[in-house]
Amino acid sequence: MPCQLPLKGLSRTALKGLAQWRTRPGLRGTAAVFTTMSALAATSIMSSQSVAEPFSTTPCALKRTDAHHSEGLDTWNAAYPRPTRPLDAVMIFLSFPDATPRTTPAELAADHFPATTRFYERASYGRFTLRPHPLRNWIRMPHPSTSYAIQRDWNPANRAAYLRDALAAADPEVDFSRYDIVYFVADPDAPGVDSDATKVVNLDTPLRADGTDVRRVVTVFEKHPPDRLVLAHETGHVFDLPDLYHRPADGKGDWDTYVGDWDLMGSQFGLSPDLFAWHKWKLGWLDPRQVVCVRGTAPKRLTLEPLSAGPGTSPAGAAAGSPAFGLGLGTKLAVVRTGTDSALAFEARSPVGNDSTACKQGVLVYRVRGGAASGSGPIEVVDAHPRTEACWETSVYPPLADAPVSLGESFTVPGDNVKVEVEARTVSGAWTVVITPGERG
């Protein structure tokens, strides 16, 4: 679970760009133990494999480990809501005695919705809907905003006080049993609010409210308007997705060296922020037949649909007059196991859907490690063009902006002796590739 860290100021340019609420009388107790863990040294709520639901049995599915937000997907961690059904999220807007809000709850809700819902609907090919339920009024906190000492690496005691007060203040108006996700949105203009502190907080001991466990909340401290897709990134942690960026020990330097623009969990500013096919597989948005496990040493020819192509979309590069790309039910991911806890993944990325602003297109290659924790490089993009860069003005990390293998190119993954050749594109815009695992030492 998270104390996930927001990605602030990570791009080279400034890429920042209602449902009903129900009331219910009666104050419930809010006694709970609140703990937070940094993305670099976190443990899961329940690290035991006992909180698991069988998921994938394919030979290429890495085993889920005790690592924070493990990329293993043989089982689903049942401590997290699984986004394979509609989920309801309540947005609670918090004001403070030391500030008069200059925005309205409706304006802050519009900062994040419907954009967040649309991102996930496209990413899931319509299989998942996030339904927001924003309150229409401010909930007054009992203490000044400055008293909570809000900051990025927040003192656990101060954070606990904030959450206790927020839950107690909201309790008379919110029936938490109706919701799968809780967003606490602070007045962005209060003097003690730090916009760098947005993150997901886990309750080490779940709060029991209205017959349900509140295991985690998303604390939002964004400015108005907020960072692009920031709430979509934080919501990804609610679904057990890890941080894919690299946080330098001194806080300086590039944060985007692991995956660059290529996944929302790496950067909310990315030019191609759609979730990796591996993540879509993990979340249950890909059918087993959409994942090809390449085994042995013989070449395997297959056709990869662009990752973001779904119902009614036509990928760039499709032949003129070709029909819409169909239903998006073709192969989205090819996997080569490279070890007991590692794999290489291959997927096609084109400028369509969530990737409509992509810098380059082609077949993207990345390494996956099931035992690597959130923030420790569980996924790393392999650069097929290590001597060149692209999109300097807009990419969060130009060295990886041109990472995909382009049409007509071949590339052998260093250290793994796996070769991929991009032979052609179909009339509908899919990519014909040949993957050759080769001999392993």
Contact between 136 and 173 under an 8 Å Cβ cutoff? The reply is no
| Nearest in space to 363 (alpha carbons), one of 394, 384, 342, 388 | 384
Across all residues in the chain, what is the average pLDDT? 86
Determine the average pLDDT of the residues in 126-136.
98
Integer Cα distance of 13 and 10 in angstroms? 9
| From 98-107, 304-313, 410-419, the region with the lowest mean pLDDT | 304-313
Residue pointed to by tokens 């032979």: 423
Check pLDDT > 50 for residue 49. no
Global pTM exceeds 0.85: yes
| From 154-163, 348-357, 398-407, the region with the lowest mean pLDDT | 154-163
Check pLDDT > 50 for residue 63. yes
Give the sheet arrangement for strand 212-220, strand by strand. Answer: 130-140, 87-95, 181-186, 212-220, 199-209
Give the sheet arrangement for strand 410-413, strand by strand. Answer: 300-304, 431-436, 418-425, 410-413
Where is pLDDT greater, at 36 or 134? 134
Determine the average pLDDT of the residues in 126-140.
98
Confidence band, pLDDT 50/70/90 cuts, at residue 45? very low
Check pLDDT > 80 for residue 209. no
The per-residue pLDDT for 46 is 36
Check pLDDT > 70 for residue 41. no
Determine the average pLDDT of the residues in 326-345.
90
The per-residue pLDDT for 253 is 76
- What angle in degrees, to the nearest 10, is found between the helix axes of 115-123 and 230-238? 60
Contact between 430 and 306 under an 8 Å Cβ cutoff? The reply is yes
For the beta carbon of residue 346, count every other beta carbon within 10 angstroms: 26
The per-residue pLDDT for 440 is 63
* Long-range residue pairs from 122-126, CB within 8 A, at least 24 positions apart, any chain: 122/274, 122/308, 122/310, 122/353, 122/354, 123/274, 123/275, 123/280, 123/285, 123/308, 123/354, 124/83, 124/280, 124/283, 124/285, 125/285, 125/310, 125/311, 125/328, 126/310, 126/311
- For residue 132, the cross-strand partners are 89
Buried-state track 367-400, b at ≥16 Cβ within 10 A, e below 16: bbbbbbbbbbbbbbbbbbbeeebbbeebbbbbbb
Check pLDDT > 50 for residue 72. yes
Confidence band, pLDDT 50/70/90 cuts, at residue 32? very low
Confidence band, pLDDT 50/70/90 cuts, at residue 263? very high
Question: Domain limits of the chain?
Answer: 79-238, 277-436
Contact between 329 and 280 under an 8 Å Cβ cutoff? The reply is no
Check pLDDT > 80 for residue 13. no
- The alpha carbon dihedral of 401, 402, 405, 411 has a sign of negative
Integer Cα distance of 43 and 298 in angstroms? 40
Confidence band, pLDDT 50/70/90 cuts, at residue 314? low
| Domain 79-238: assigned CATH number | 3.40.390
The DSSP H or E segment spanning 234 is helix 230-238
Where is pLDDT greater, at 65 or 9? 65
Contact between 55 and 75 under an 8 Å Cβ cutoff? The reply is yes
Check pLDDT > 50 for residue 230. yes
- The alpha carbon dihedral of 81, 82, 86, 89 has a sign of positive
Integer Cα distance of 402 and 379 in angstroms? 17
| From 51-55, 219-223, 370-374, the region with the lowest mean pLDDT | 51-55
171-191, pLDDT tens digit by residue?
Answer: 999 999 999 999 999 999 999
| Nearest in space to 203 (alpha carbons), one of 176, 221, 231 | 176
